[in-house]
Amino acid sequence: MTSQRFDTLCIGNAICDVFAHVEEDFLVHEKLVKGSMRLIDTEEAVRLYEKMGQTTRISGGSAGNTAAGVAVLGGASAYFGKVAEDELGSAFRHDMRGTGVHFETPVLVDGPPTARSMILITPDGERTMNTYLGACVELSEKDIDADTVAASAITYMEGYLWDPPAAKAAFLKAAEIAHAHGRKVSLTLSDSFCVDRYRSEFLGMMRDGTIDLLFANEHELKALYETADLDTAIAAVRGDCPTTALTLGAHGAMAISREETVRVPAAAVTDVVDLTGAGDLFASGFLLGQARSFDFTTSAELGCLCAAEVIGHVGARPERSLKQLAEQQGFGL
């Protein structure tokens, strides 16, 4: 088997996040569903941007945030994602590599511009995302570097990537390579609306053994099994997937397998500023824990610690050294 070089390989939509603080009335006026993610075209992206007022720009993308979190936590992290040969694409590559992430996906030339997500943050810290996918939908099988996949303990994909057909094929190719080398494959459901679009395919991959480790929040898991009862959803996922990491917001997180269920409390947060990236950074900690053979409790606690850091400021990338923070809390990384 190829020797392990990376703790995680994250595959996702390479997106620059554009943040703005807005009042609840702004969402009502724009007829936006609070806390949701919608895909928009170029015209809508331009129109909405003009109405957002003062903004902050930070490199993002769900799996990109997770990859950066793993690296800042002290793990070895790789990333596959497509950006264009433009200003935002250059900024994204700079930010990813600056955190220590191995990011060598070829840039897109003569195609749509780099993707961006306009994130509206209401006073309660909730975020509503409006995403223009642009160049990131051009990720395809040819961008899957087999050596990187084979050298990664866990290959992790965001559910949002299931929208572009070429990216779907890219992930399935990566999953096949990972399993051929005795590695694990992980999926995050990403969004309840994403689950509604691809429920049967997600369940199919869980049941046929493509997915070894599932990430979800409470709303996504209930949407997956079309139930309002969390216990019913937990019982169902226990039979469908070897391991599930379930986030419960202020109530912490759970790790569920066929043999056991572990629950840990949320890490203390002084001030919730922006919930963007909480799930992404939880995944960073949990993935690194599993890649390092930590038990469920330690992995989930590490995930909660990372999530707590990122919701204390605007943006989904950590602003403090997660490695130092974890070591201060007694985690042996």
Residue with tokens 């554009």: 18
pLDDT at residue number 332 = 81
- Domain boundary assignment for the chain: 6-329
**What topology does CATH give the domain 6-329?**
UDP-N-acetylmuramoyl-L-alanine:D-glutamate ligase (3.40.1190)
pLDDT at residue number 316 = 67
Question: With b meaning 16 or more CB within 10 Å and e meaning fewer, what string describes 237-265?
Answer: bbebbbbbbbbbeeebbbbbeeeeebebe
- The Cα 148–Cα 138 span in angstroms is 20
Residue with tokens 């990537």: 161
pLDDT at residue number 63 = 95
pLDDT at residue number 65 = 93
pLDDT tens, per residue, the chain with 333 residues = 678 999 999 999 999 888 899 999 999 999 999 988 888 998 898 889 889 989 888 888 899 999 999 999 999 999 999 999 988 899 899 999 999 999 999 999 988 889 988 999 999 888 898 989 899 999 999 999 999 999 999 999 999 888 888 999 999 999 999 999 999 999 999 889 899 999 999 999 999 999 999 999 999 999 999 999 999 999 999 999 999 999 999 899 999 999 999 999 988 887 777 676 789 999 999 999 999 999 999 999 999 999 988 888 766 678 788 888 888 888 887
Are 214 and 186 in contact by the 8 Å Cβ rule? The answer is yes
pLDDT at residue number 212 = 98
pTM score, whole prediction: 0.89
